Each structure stands twice: as C-alpha cells, then as structure tokens.
Structure 1
Amino acid sequence: NLADDERTDATEFARSQESLQSFLHRQALSLRLNENDQAALRFLIESLNDDGYLEDSLPALASTLAGDDNDQFDELVHHFQVALGLLQSLEPVGVGARSLGECLTIQLRELAHANEDSDEAQVRKTAIAICKQPMELLAKRDFKRLATLTRSNEDEVRAALQLIARLEPKPGRRFVDVERNVVVPDVIVTRIGNGTNARFRVMLNPDVMPRLRVHDIYAGALKQHKGEGSQALSQRLQEARWFIKNIQQRFDTILRVSNAIVERQKSFFVHGELAMRPLVLREIADELGLHESTISRVTTAKYMATPYGTVELKYFFGSALGTETGGNASSTAVRALIKQFVSAEDIKKPLSDSQVSEMLKEQGIECARRTVAKYREALRIAPANLRKAL
C-alpha cells in the first residue's frame, strides 16, 4: 500500500474542504526556496487541473509569461524544471505528473522501502517498466506483449498489473468538491431578437467585479496633511488610485476580448458548437492591438455564460482543418461532430478512429485517423475496443 499515513493526511484535508492547491501551498511553505523558485512552484501548483496533472508543458507555461524575451524564457524553463521536481515530491503522491504513466511511476517509486524483499522489488521494477509503455497495452491487459517489451515473464507482468491497479490514477480526485467548483461567469452574453436579426449583448457579470474606491474622507485628509510624512502618504494615495485603475483596465480588456470573440463566433451563438469557426489568439490580438500573451492570460480561467452553457473563453479558440471546398473547419466543431458520431453509434459495434475519419470525410472535412484519436482522447472518450467492453 502507498504510505497510509500520507494518504490519510490528504483525505483529512480534503474532508475539511481544503482544495488541492491550498493543500500543496501549505506544504510548500516548509520548503526553503529562493524567491524565483518559490514563485515558479506557486505558478505550477496553480496550473494543475482537478486531477492533479500538469497539462501544459514547461516551455508552453514559460512562453505565456516570457512572450518574445528568449533570455527570460530560458530562465523560466530552468526555474520550472526545479519547481517540478519539488512539486512531484509533495503529497498526494503522483501530483504534478504530465501523463498517466508518469503519475503511476512516481507512486511506484514512492513504494520502495528498506525492508522490501527481492520479489517485491522485481514486481515494482516490472510495474515501472510497464508504465513506460503505451497505456493502451495496460488497458488491454496484453500480458504477452508487455512481457516482451519489459523483458519479464507473464507471471511478473500479472503481479505488476495487480500492483498498478492499487495506485491512484487521479491524485487530485479526493480534493474535488462539486459545490466549490461551481463556475461563476465573468461575462454574460444575452440574445436579443430572433433569426437572422438576432444580436448579442455582452456585459461583465457585476457579481465578479470588485467595488473599489478611495474613500473621500481619507483622500481629503491626506491632501490636507502637510506635516512630516506627507509625501509618503501622498504616494500611498497615488498607489491606491493606480491599483483601482489597473483593476478597471483588466475588466475593460476582458470585455473588449469577449466582444471580439462574440463578433467572430456569432454562428456558435446562433447554432451551437457545430457552427464554431477556426480562431487563433493572434486574430483577436491584432484586432484589438494587444500582445498575444495578453489575450492568452485574459482568456485563461475566465468564463462566459452563453445560450449554450457557461464555457471558458479559451473554448472559442481552435485550429483549422481543411475541407473539400477549400474552406476551413474549426477543431472545436470537429470535436463536437466526433462526440455526436460516438453518442449515436451501435454499442455492439463501436466506431473505430478510422471509421470516424471516413465519416468526417463524408462531411467534407479532412481529418486523419491520428487527429481523430487525439480529439477523442481530449473528449475523454475511450477507444473503440474499450467502449465495446464497457
């Protein structure tokens, strides 16, 4: 078993309604880090998904902060690499992994102990070797293939798979609280009119906007204060006003970006996700005269309430796939089609990725089998053989 005391600690914290991020930040306080490494670790913790995985690569995370500054980019990647090692040493074991294989491997290495006998050590070694193989083989329980790839016998593979089955594939699972994860939209889009005359009004959600102002009494007192320290007090007043102005500018930018998104994705607001058009961050950045990294920050963890539900602003961005007519189809729309095909399939004969690719081709969309597989995995849809088994 994984260290029972560690598992209990994590569970107790979860029951006390503490989030995964808060639990990790509390542990990070005990680490003696310099300011840069501390900031990098804090950033990685905040970048984890609900399952405790780091979905974005370290270079991708660094580029969102560094922009076009190559020197700063290299420095950030270095700090993130140090921080990743620290993050993966925290509880719950397996947190901070970038893939299922890495998550399971971290947990298996944690199982090593001084009294481990040779048989236990061999099973654990085999399990680690299995986790380096494609996860499809693990899901299929392909003992022969796994035995060949790991240079083990089938009995060792069976024992290793039993060990792996006791691990936690989603380290952050026990911290998830549905009530705490209710999304409050930052922007609300309402429909005005019907049919081709339909318009959409975009407004900021007043519930998420902080009501900030410098109280007139304090501002007046500071202006009249001419004695010792008046300069320092005036500076504080100016800083407060700049802070309020920056907050207002931030929400103004969110509103500008949201308006630009609604204008370009009007078909989505009329017809739904199947009508989504290709859109990249640079298009919005160029239109608004902002840097691409600014658009990236504004659209991350910011949500819009639409006639089709509440979605993250990043949802509206997707790459383009070619069509027979020479036009482009949005990857978001293609994912929606794949989801539609799978939901309507015969459960006795589920569709393979190749069949879905052919069906998309019939719709005039060029989408290779490998691309279908990537989109299917992003939608958390199991492969055909496992859908049939389920």
Structure 2
Amino acid sequence: MKQGLSLRVSQHLALTPQLQQSIRLLQLSTLEMAQEVEQMLDENPFLERSEDTAERETFGLEQSDVPVSAGEQISDAALAEPPSAPPSSGESTSSTSADTGDGEGLEGKLDGASPVEESWEGDGTVEMSPDDGEWGGDAPARNNGSNSDGDDTATAADLARVPVSLQDHLHEQARCLRLSDEDSAALYFLIESLNEDGYLVDSLSDLATAWWHMSDRSRRVGGDDSPAGFEEIEVLEQRLAMALQLLQHMDPTGVGARDLAECLRLQILELRNTPEARAALAICGQPLELMAKRDIKRLCNLCGIDDETARGALALIARLEPKPGRRFIDVERNVVVPDVIVTHAGRGFKVILNPDVMPRLRVHDVYANAMRQNRGGRDSGGEAGHAAMQQRLQEARWFIKNIQQRFDTILRVSSAIVERQRNFFMHGELAMRPLVLREIADELGLHESTISRVTTAKYMATPFGTYELKYFFGSSLGTETGGNASSTAVRALLKQFISAEEPTKPLSDNQLSDLLREQGIECARRTVAKYREALRIAPANLRKSL
C-alpha cells in the first residue's frame, strides 16, 4: 500500500451551545418553558426576575419583514432533511426529522464535524449592553401564590377556590362514622386505593396482601405462604369486605364499584322501586355489549320483560353517572394557557403574545458591574474563577436573547397563520382552507422543521376558542370545481350533518359521503368513517334513538 499526502476541502456545520439552546427552547411548551426559566434562575447568579416595568425591545410584527438572520439560517440548515443524493460542497451535512420536533443528538449527526467546545464566552466582553436590560416587561411578576403585602395567610376566597378531591370528600364522611381502629384503617386503605373515577380496580385479595406486606406482621411471620401469614391475609380480606360495604353507601353513589355494571347497580338501588328500575337491574346483570348495541329484542328475552319496559330501563340507565369521581377531578390542571391571543381590530385581526407566559428576565446589574470593574484589576490567581464567572454572564445574556427569539418566532408564525386562515377567524371552521407547513416556511424563510417545532404544544386563543397551532394545518380534498377543501372544514360539515339528523334514523357513513358529494366534495366512505372516529362520534347503529 502506497502512502501519500493529499489536500481535501470540505465544509462542515458545527452547532454552538447558543444555537443548540435556541433550538431546544423553541420546541418547549409553555409549562416546560416555565420550568426551564426556574432552573436557569436557580443555576445562574447573573440572571434575575425584573420587578420594574421597562420598555421591551421592539420585535414581532414590526420585524416580520426583516431578513432572516445568519443564526436562523444556520439553525434551519442544521435541521434540514438531507437529500437522497450526496450533498454538494455548499450544503450542510447535518439533519433531523421535521416531524419529530426533537433536537436531541444533533451533534452526533454532524458528519465528520469536530466536537464543539462548551463555551458561552462569545466576544468576551463584559460591558453593559442593551441585551442586559429586561425582556418581557409587559408580563406581571409572579408572586408564588402569596399576597402582595407579603402575608402568606390564605383568605376565605382562596380556600373556596381550592378543589376538593374524591379522597378528601370520602375521608370527611368516614370521620362521622363510629368505627374501631381496625375498621377505620381498612376503610382508609380502600379510599386511598380508588382511582380518579371512583373505581376499585384491585381485588380485595390483592389489597389484603398488599396491606399485610405494608404492616409489621409480615416481618414477624416471615412470608405470606406460611400458615400464619395466610390466615392473617384472610382476616384482612374479610375486614376489607366489610369496609367496602360502608364505602359503597357513601356519596357519590356508585363509588367503590369494581366495574361499570356494579357502579350502575349501586345507583339503581338508590332509586325508587319501579318496573323500569327492576328491569334496569336485570339488564345490568347481562353482558354490557348488549346494552351498548341496544339489542332490545335479546335483552327482552334474557330478562323476561316487554319491549316498552326495556326501552324505559335503557333510558333510565342512560341518565346514570358511569364515573362517580368525575365531578371531583381538578379541571384547573387541564386548562390550556394560550401563547398567542387573536382579537378583532377594525376589519382585521390583531395578533399579540400572551403577557402571562412571557418571563421578565434581566442580567443582575450589581454582579455585572462588579465583573466590569474587576476586569483589569484581578490578580493572576483568580484568572480561572474570573473566566468562569464571565462565561456564566454571557450564558445569562444568551438565555435572554434565545427566549426573545423564541417568542418572536412564535409571533411571526402565528401572524402568518392568521393571515392565511382569515376566513376561519371571520366565519368559523367551515371556512378553513387547506394549509401545509411548507407554505408558512416559504413565506417566513424558515425550514419546515422550525415551523413544526413552533406549532407543537403552542396554543392560540381565538374568538371561537383556544386551538393548538397545528389545528390550522390540514390536508386537502378535491372538489367538483377543481378546487380544494380543507379536511378540518369537512369534519365540521360532518358534525353539522350528524347534529341535524333524525334520532330515529341516523345517517350512515355512505349517506354522509353522498351528502358531501352533493356539496361538491369528493370524500369516500372510508374517509368519512376515519373523520367520524376522529370526532369521537359513534356509528349509526349506536346513535339510533330508542
């Protein structure tokens, strides 16, 4: 083998820590973003919350026509999907999927790129700059749940807003019962074993075994397979069975049931003893598939009732609560906080960022000034410490800039969506037009993967409700006139057709497809079934009224 030297020119892309942080912050949701800010405030001494109202740096709609910065171009190049052919010398060799929105492993995918040193030094300056000012001045400071005057005492209104859990509600009732310590402990154990719907999903034998292992008895006996351990588990199971009788007579009715049939039976037993109630009890003893399919003829034969009584019993069952713990679920934790708010402004619409989700951050003035004053007077022994603190200062500055860039990109993408879907904001989802990520990416000069990250887990408050940004993107269906109809508009049209159907004669998927064809929209029966299932609408045989 002949050895030799050769010179080869190649181009590689290296992602700096600043750029990696910018990409990672862009794909975070509002909650994840708040957690990231809290973590950075704990770790970086140069970063603090701003309590004073200051003028924010100008960005957003006014900057929508500004050319894309070099940093964003590098970011888009790093996130672009590599073509099947070998890239040319001017193309990047880094890639990631546009659908996953995952920024992990970017450095590992750089073909032949040298490792990047973790450095936040930037240009090395520690002078005070406009970047050291606060960003997000319109957002109110968070008070961590305390009163403005510093008093941590909760008011009556605050206590009234605290939701009561199902377990707390049941424990309050259990305190009114005169029970022995053993029975009280068994009832407490059952209450804590309920799921959020109020069901007892584990069997009494499994609960007794778990309870026995949690106690000190298992250590004294030595195992549940010993005669003494088996006997004690049987005693605990009997005690749990008696406690279950008490639990199933508590409010809400049906709590402590092991399955849906038992839950319905417990609620029926609380009603008046009527022919319909007795028939409902008999129906609950049959396979639930028959009740779900409303097979009245077979239910009448199995329960020995007539057709009219069976219909009345099914109507009674339909009024029962299948999830007794539903009203105790804390709905506040499921509330979506929008990132963008769209309001009417004259004949158009105004797009603004939600100030409640914008953190107010700034570089600590005292620490930054101390770094600047000590820049030339430090001794030789403090070189390493000074360099480390300088790096933390630059890291704080970059964090503020990256947050600003994140919200700037969200606002730009949201404004482009509102402009493209103007008919939706005027007339509703029936006027939604087809839209793909490529259209917004081409308009803003960004990559599709960037648009995918921006529209994932980001929400927009509109006059018609709060929607995820991905909601405004949809595929197209052909029409008789040669145009395209949005799949979102087709689903809205299906909901209208089904809501207007006769309860005794619901529309089948074939009939719904024919109705869409009458509107000029070509939609096959299988597509109608897919859209109907996505809307969580039952098929025609289950929608049929008795």
Could you report, residue by residue, the CA deviation over 1:275-332 in whole angstroms, capped at 9, with x for unpaired residues?
0000011211121122212211211221111121221111101100000000000000
Aligned match of 1:340 in 492, 496, 514? 496
Partner of 1:203: 352
Partner of 1:303: 459
Amino acid in structure 2 at the alignment position of 1:316: F
Partner of 1:294: 450
Q: CA deviation at 1:338?
A: 0.5
Q: Is the 8 A contact 1:65 1:293 kept in 2?
A: no
TM-score, length basis structure 1:
0.57
Map residues 2-41 of structure 1 onto 2, 5 A cutoff. Answer: none
Aligned match of 2:336 in 183, 189, 203? 183
Partner of 1:215: 364
Distance across 1 between alignment mates of 2:100 and 2:416: 24
Q: CA deviation at 1:140?
A: 4.2
Partner of 2:475: 319
Unaligned runs of 5+ in 1: 1-20, 22-59, 73-90, 94-106, 113-135, 143-168
Could you say which structure has the greater relative contact order, defined with CA pairs below 8 angstroms and 6 or more residues apart? 2
Partner of 2:406: 250
Q: Helix, strand or coil: the match of 2:430?
A: helix
RMSD: 4.3
Distance across 2 between alignment mates of 1:243 and 1:233: 15
Distance across 2 between alignment mates of 1:271 and 1:68: 44
Distance 1:260 1:357, change over 3 A: same
Q: Helix, strand or coil: the match of 2:102?
A: helix
Q: CA deviation at 1:190?
A: 1.3
Amino acid in structure 2 at the alignment position of 1:200: F
Q: CA deviation at 1:230?
A: 1.0
Distance across 1 between alignment mates of 2:329 and 2:447: 34
Q: Is the 8 A contact 2:501 2:507 kept in 1?
A: yes
Q: Helix, strand or coil: the match of 2:370?
A: helix
Amino acid in structure 2 at the alignment position of 1:64: G
Aligned match of 2:387 in 215, 231, 234? 231
Amino acid in structure 2 at the alignment position of 1:190: T
Unaligned runs of 5+ in 2: 1-30, 32-96, 110-192, 196-200, 207-288, 296-321
Amino acid in structure 2 at the alignment position of 1:178: V
Q: CA deviation at 1:251?
A: 0.3
Distance across 1 between alignment mates of 2:100 and 2:340: 26
Distance 1:312 1:365, change over 3 A: same
Distance 1:137 1:267, change over 3 A: farther
Distance across 1 between alignment mates of 2:194 and 2:477: 40
Q: Helix, strand or coil: the match of 2:359?
A: coil
Distance 1:239 1:180, change over 3 A: same
TM-score, length basis structure 2:
0.41
Partner of 1:240: 396
Partner of 1:268: 424
Distance across 2 between alignment mates of 1:68 and 1:216: 36
Partner of 2:101: 64
Distance 1:280 1:380, change over 3 A: same
Q: Helix, strand or coil: the match of 1:268?
A: helix
Distance across 1 between alignment mates of 2:509 and 2:329: 32
Q: Is the 8 A contact 1:223 1:234 kept in 2?
A: no
* Matched residues, number: 261
Q: CA deviation at 1:65?
A: 2.1
Q: Helix, strand or coil: the match of 1:207?
A: helix
